[in-house]
Structure formats: C-alpha cells, structure tokens
Structure 1
Amino acid sequence: MKLKFNPLSFVILLAFSNCQNDNHNPDLPHDSTFYIDYRSLKGLPDGIAVIELDPEAPNFGHISSKLELGVGVLPHHLYYNQTANKLYTTALGGSYLYQIKTEKDKNGQPQLVNATPIDTGENKVGENLFFTNDGRYFMTFMGGAGGPKDGSIGVFNANNNQLIKTIKAPIQDNPNQFIMYPHGISVNEEKGIMMVTSTIHPDLTTGMGNTCTLLDMNTYELKETYLVADSQTDMSSPVEVLLLRGKFPQYALATTMLGGDIWIAPYNAVTKKYDAFSKIFDGSTQGLGWTLEMYIDDNSKLYVSFADPGKVLVFDISNLPQLKLLKTLTADKGAHHMVFFKTKKGKEVVAVQNNLLDIPNLNSGTISVIEIETGKTLGTVDLRTKYGILPESIEGTNGPGSYMHH
C-alpha cells in the first residue's frame, strides 16, 4: 500500500517531534543532516554529532561536527522546545540534562557549539521531555533520588530552565497510585492531563514496572495508575506512552519493552480519565520483541519500532481501537528512534537509529535509511565500525524530524 505523504511539507509538518505540541511551523526548512546522541566505545567522551543521512549525498554517513559532553555522560534523548529555537539532550549520567547551543557555518551547515548543564536537583537518570504551551517542560527521571523503587517527574520553567517542582509518589506510600522508574511521558494539554510509564530501574536489574500513571498536569495530583501487562506478575516494562490528541482518536497508546506489545486505553469523557488498558498488538505472534518508540504522521499512520529483531511496523490508526498493519520495514537489531525526510531525488524515507543502551544483541550501532513506499534499505551507516560510537537517539537539525512522537 502506498503511503500518501504531502511531498512538499511532509517533514516540515512533522512538527515538534519527541514530545511537544501539535502546532506546525511552515517556515522550518529541513534537510538531510541530523543530530545524534552517541556513546563512545573507546573510553572517550560521549557526545552529540552532526551526520549526513541522505544515501544520495556524496558525503553520506559523514560526521561534520561533534560536541563532547564527557566520559560516562551517556546522552540519551534529543528534544526541541515549543518554538524549535532551543535544543536539549537528556542524559543517563553527567548532569542528566543539557541545553545545546548550535549555529550555522558560512555554508548554512549546522555546527555544535557548546552544552550548558541544567540543575535537576536530586533527580537522577534523565529520560524524556515534554514541552507545554504555558512555558513549562516536564522531565522523567527513571532513577528519582536514587532509591531501589524510586522515580520522579521534574517540572521546569522553559524560559530559564529552573526546576519548579519535583513530583514524587512512592509505591511504598500507595501501592495503587504511584510513580516508579518513569521513562515515557505524554501530555494532552486540552484535557489537562499527562501520563508516565513505569519501565525499569536504571541498573536494569533491581526492579521492573508494569504500569502507567495518569496525573493532572496543573495540580500534579495522581489520578490513576493502570496495569499495562497480562497480569500483576507480568513485568512488561511499559517504555513509551502517547496520548493521542487534536484530530486523532482520543486514546492512550503504550509500548511494552519486555512485553513486546502495543496497548490501548480509550479516553472516558465522563470520568475525565482513561478506561483500562488492553493489548491491541501482540508482538510475540509476529516474532517481535522489545517494542520501543511510537511516531504518528499527519495521515494517521503509526510507526512502531521493535528492537528485536529490528523492525518498524506501520499501522493505520484511523479506525481505533482497530489497529491495521500496513507494512513492515526491516532495520537492524536495536531499532529505536526515527526521523523522516526526503532524499535529494525526492524519495520519502525514514532513518532508524539501531541501538538500545548497548544491550547485547540490541546494539547494532547503525542507522538504516529506508524508503517508506518500497521498504527498500537505501543506505546504512555503521557508526560502530566507522567511528567507534553507538547512536543513542536522533533528531533533525532544522527542527523536529517527526510529526508526533509522544
């Protein structure tokens, strides 16, 4: 089936990626150079790089700019603010959150200049961000203050990056409503709600989660904690959540990292919460596991990455709760984050970053560039072999490289 993207405005309208709003800035150009967070495999500093990802470009796979953040910083997710004039990266180590200064050289090519650490207070292990229209941003901290069942949400002033509040709700205080190991976050500003996932302890062994928690985004009060698993003992590790909003059907979607599935919950206008989650796609029936990221395009297509064995599945979400599989794209083991763009010859492609935390068998260390219509891999950059680094995340250099991420 042919995916009908607007050939001129696809990437421009892929607004405000990894988190933010659903407004589109038609003045944002886009090209085929991208920012990647990376970790060094040689004991050198981790950092951010600018890389060319158009297989039709003569310098395909070339890194033109690098910014080192430090040994063990492990930058993790790249984000733009609401107006795409500030770039941030979260980090699993170091200062956990940085604002990145960039500029253009004389040829208009992006250059990385410096990184400013942001004070996250007691909050450790930075994961996801979500910028709201009222001048705040929310950040999940999978490590919280460092306890074995910890986790927190930081609320920041988007103008000065000051920490306003830390939201904590320990499972020890209330086993029915809690925040623990939060990773994914999504916000529906119109409804005044946000949801976070409970994934896994940062050391990947101390504990795992199997829930998502709904909060009031203004009072910060917890509204409900939902089971997103086959049973209370099924540690499915929900990793990302997406509260569909605007023109899309009003559902919550969640991916389970260890469950390998996609779950769905309908919004209830009476309770002003979501009803219970149910499994809408079982990865094991398709030989798939480690479900990770979700991206929505402007035409009700859902892209979901499965790190094992390295696939991106494309679904139609126009008739939810029915989820129709349209096609399967083949990437590499560890398929994770994505960006969308057009090649110089006009081919509509998705670039897939293939690495999950350098976990064995999920750490190819490549970026696959796949033509969406045909499913053909047009090019692969092997960062492990070529540069001795692993890509951790990916983002556009002229604004977000996707339409809606979470």
Structure 2
Amino acid sequence: MKLKFNLLSLIILLTFSNCQNDNHNQDLPHDTSFYIDYRSLKGLPDGIAVIELDPEAPNFGHISSKLELGVGVLPHHLYYNQGANKLYTTALGGNYLYQIKTEKDKTGQPKLVDATPIDTGENTVGENLFFTNDGRYFMTFMGGAGGPRDGSIGVFNANNNQLIKTIKAPIQTNPNQFIMYPHGISVNEEKGIMMVTSTIHPDLTTGMGNTCTLLDMNTYELKETYLVADSQTDMSSPVEVLLLRGKFPQYALATTMLGGDIWIAPYNATTKKYDAFSKIFDGSTQGLGWTLEMYIDDNSRLYVSFADPGKVLVFDISNLPQLKLLKTLTADKGAHHMVFFKTKKGKEVVAVQNNLLDIPNLNSGTISVIEIETGKTLGTVDLRAKYGILPESIEGTNGPSSYMHH
C-alpha cells in the first residue's frame, strides 16, 4: 500500500510539475510586462510601476506593482547595468539617481521592492546612463552644479555606485570645447571615446544648446565640440547621440529636439575623431518635429521617435551615409521611448511611450502598442485617464528591451 501511494504521489507530482512548466512557458507574464517611470498628475508621489503591455492579454494595461519615490522626484530614464542584474532610474528631482530592487512573485511576475538613492555629489538633474565593460558607468547631469550655463558628466563605480569623478568643462572657460546641458550620451569602448549632447537648460527657458562634444573615455579629456545645427544661432537642441559600433557602419548619429532632424558624422580613423556633422534627415519636410530617441535592431533598422505629431520612423542604415526610410508608424503626441517584444501569439511589436516632460501637445500620456510589420495599432493604454499618471520612460522586466539604444 505504501509503495502504491508513493508511486501515485510521484505521478501526481510530476504531472503537476509538467503542467506548471507548460503554463509558465506559455504565459511568461513578465515577458510582456514592463517597468515604467511615471509622474503623478494628482500631486501624489512619482514612481515606478509594472504594467502589462500585451494587447492579447486579458489584463492589458493593468498595473501590478508600484513603487513610490516621492513628490516631485520625476524619475526619468530606466537602465540596466552591464550584466542586466541591477536596475537604475535617473531622476530630474529628488536624489537624481536610484538603484531599484526588484523580485519576482510565485508566478514569476516582477515586483518592485524599494529604491536606494545614490550620492551624485554636486551634480543635479539626472538624465542618461551608459554602463561600460570595465566596471564604470557614466551619467549626464543637465543641471550640473546649478548654474545658468552648467552641466556635467558623473563617472561612477558600477560595483558600489560611488562617484569617482565629475567631468566639467564650462563654456565660459573655452567656448570651442565645452560641456553644457548634457543629456544624451554614447560610448564606443573599442575606440575609447564617448560623446554627449548639449540640449537645454533644465528650466527649458534659460538656455539651449546646438552641439555635441567628444571626449576620451579614459582620460576624460575633451577632444572636440561639434556644431549640430544649421548655423551658430540655430538652437537645435541635440537630445540623443548614438556612436554606432560593432558590426554597424562607424558613424555618429544625433537627433535634434528643436531642429526636428537627424544628423550624421563619419568616424575618421586618422584623427581618431569624427568629421563634421551634416543633416541626413530633415523632419520639417515631412511635417515632423521634436526628434527624440534612437533604437537599432540587429537587422540594421533604425527606429526614431518624433514627438510631434507622434510618429516612429523606421530606417535602413546598412548603406550609411544613405538613410533609407522603410516605414512610418503612428503613435500619439509625445512619442518618446520604445520597447520591443513579441505578443503571446508571436506578433513582433513596438510599444511607444507618448509623453515628453508633460509639455503641452507633447503629453498624450499613453502607451501605443504597434505591430511592426503592418503598422497597425494593436492597443493603447491611456495612463492619464486610467491612473492619473504620465509615463516618463519604459524598460523591460527581463533586461534591456532593445538591441542598441545609446
């Protein structure tokens, strides 16, 4: 009797275990769940949330976990470290940088636990991060130490989050080589270089930039500041920069927020710098403005968001400096950050976060889920109406949700 009972128990246990595995493989709830930074529209704390973005899921648009950071913190960009085992968010207020602790519940669903503030020294208004293979990460601070023409780059130890160095190069000291209002950052470790953009003063009125600056990532010395605008008086506000690396053609790409364009500069192996930037795509000719983010997939396709009127353009970059437009995807006003995934039925989609700093007409407060092949919008989550929040950025819950971003 005892033997029969043990065998029966084993069969039941194995059957249950197989069912659990099958269900887990089929459902993978966290594969279509994403982290979003958000700001409250009701005077409540800003924070981070976990949201389901598969339009085929019964809980599409449902927030399953929230972590409040504080009123006015304005979390801004979510990033994973090099090993994708630590999650960070930068912030425009509060402590400017936080490491986020997460875990998974018994169903495998991601859950936000707490946030640890990181000391950024005198550096204010946290923007972008870039983690390198040598145990560092770089962070742009659009506000610098708080001056009217300020800005800085923080260098951190990725193991303990300690600030190693603050890189400053005021325009007042050298108007030909400087760091001011840095937002975007990109690094080419093989070449030992990094580049930052000069975007806009944090109050969006005191000053604007129209350049990108190249630095040595090891000595932290400035190599060159490039004009990324039609003229010295054209305040184009370059917002993101991408140094193509690896298998991709060796160019630098930059988007101009107020210019509404895409710019390109070829790498010069002799000077070990980039040559001058030139405009490769003029948004105004297409009725487009406020060019923001760039993402690249492993098929040499470049996805660029245009906040006005809310589009994502897909380009072929295999023959740079020729930029071939492949398709235009329609999102909502404020089209900004993106994540890429497959729905439960295998459709390849991009989810677009539609909001830029709650700027009027660029703050839809939605997330559009668009099928890449057909361009059809499969679903939209209206966070403004449903939760009284605006999404600020978006990232995967199982690691980075794009092939190359910065």
Q: TM-score range by the shorter chain?
A: over 0.9
Mark the CA change 1:25 to 1:95 in structure 2 (over 3 Å): closer, same or farther: farther
Gaps of 5+ in 1: none
The whole-number CA distance in structure 2 between the counterparts of 1:367 and 1:335 is 9
CA deviations over 1:229-255 (Å, ceiling 9, x no partner): 000000000000000000000000000
SS at match of 2:384: helix
The whole-number CA distance in structure 2 between the counterparts of 1:6 and 1:30 is 35
Shift of 1:226: 0.0
User: How many percent of aligned residue pairs carry the same amino acid?
Assistant: 95
The whole-number CA distance in structure 2 between the counterparts of 1:261 and 1:296 is 17
Map residues 58-77 of structure 1 onto 2, 5 A cutoff. Answer: 58-77=58-77
- Residues 27, 344 of structure 2: 8 Å contact kept: no
Mark the CA change 1:299 to 1:308 in structure 2 (over 3 Å): closer, same or farther: same
- Residues 28, 108 of structure 2: 8 Å contact kept: no
Shift of 1:208: 0.0
SS at match of 1:26: helix
CA deviations over 1:255-309 (Å, ceiling 9, x no partner): 0000000000000000000000000000000000000000000000000000000
Structure 1: 4+ residue segments shifted above 2 A:
1-30
Shift of 1:150: 0.1
- Residues 14, 24 of structure 1: 8 Å contact kept: no
Shift of 1:22: 32
Mark the CA change 1:28 to 1:14 in structure 2 (over 3 Å): closer, same or farther: farther
Name whichever of 26-35 and 219-228 sits farther off.
26-35
- Residues 12, 26 of structure 1: 8 Å contact kept: no
Shift of 1:55: 0.1
Tell me how many residue pairs correspond in the alignment. Answer: 406
The whole-number CA distance in structure 2 between the counterparts of 1:91 and 1:253 is 25
CA deviations over 1:155-202 (Å, ceiling 9, x no partner): 000000000000000000000000000000000000000000000000
Gaps of 5+ in 2: none
- Residues 370, 378 of structure 2: 8 Å contact kept: yes
- Residues 357, 392 of structure 2: 8 Å contact kept: yes
Mark the CA change 1:249 to 1:35 in structure 2 (over 3 Å): closer, same or farther: same
The whole-number CA distance in structure 2 between the counterparts of 1:5 and 1:370 is 53
The whole-number CA distance in structure 1 between the counterparts of 2:251 and 2:3 is 23
TM-score by structure 1 length?
A: 0.93
Map residues 240-251 of structure 1 onto 2, 5 A cutoff. Answer: 240-251=240-251
The whole-number CA distance in structure 1 between the counterparts of 2:278 and 2:290 is 18
- Residues 28, 398 of structure 1: 8 Å contact kept: no
Shift of 1:15: 35
TM-score by structure 2 length?
A: 0.93
Mark the CA change 1:168 to 1:101 in structure 2 (over 3 Å): closer, same or farther: same
Name whichever of 295-304 and 10-19 sits farther off.
10-19
- Residues 29, 398 of structure 1: 8 Å contact kept: no
The whole-number CA distance in structure 1 between the counterparts of 2:21 and 2:277 is 24
Name whichever of 18-27 and 267-276 sits farther off.
18-27
Shift of 1:103: 0.1
Map residues 300-379 of structure 1 onto 2, 5 A cutoff. Answer: 300-379=300-379
SS at match of 1:292: strand
Mark the CA change 1:217 to 1:200 in structure 2 (over 3 Å): closer, same or farther: same
* Max Rg structure: 2
The whole-number CA distance in structure 2 between the counterparts of 1:12 and 1:82 is 42
- Residues 37, 76 of structure 1: 8 Å contact kept: yes
Mark the CA change 1:60 to 1:188 in structure 2 (over 3 Å): closer, same or farther: same
Mark the CA change 1:395 to 1:21 in structure 2 (over 3 Å): closer, same or farther: farther
- Residues 14, 401 of structure 1: 8 Å contact kept: no
SS at match of 2:99: strand
Shift of 1:73: 0.0
Mark the CA change 1:259 to 1:404 in structure 2 (over 3 Å): closer, same or farther: same
Aligned to 2:37: 37
Shift of 1:23: 30
The whole-number CA distance in structure 1 between the counterparts of 2:268 and 2:18 is 26
Map residues 5-20 of structure 1 onto 2, 5 A cutoff. Answer: none
CA deviations over 1:314-350 (Å, ceiling 9, x no partner): 0000000000000000000000000000000000000
Mark the CA change 1:345 to 1:46 in structure 2 (over 3 Å): closer, same or farther: same
Mark the CA change 1:13 to 1:227 in structure 2 (over 3 Å): closer, same or farther: farther
Shift of 1:313: 0.0
Shift of 1:8: 37
Shift of 1:14: 35
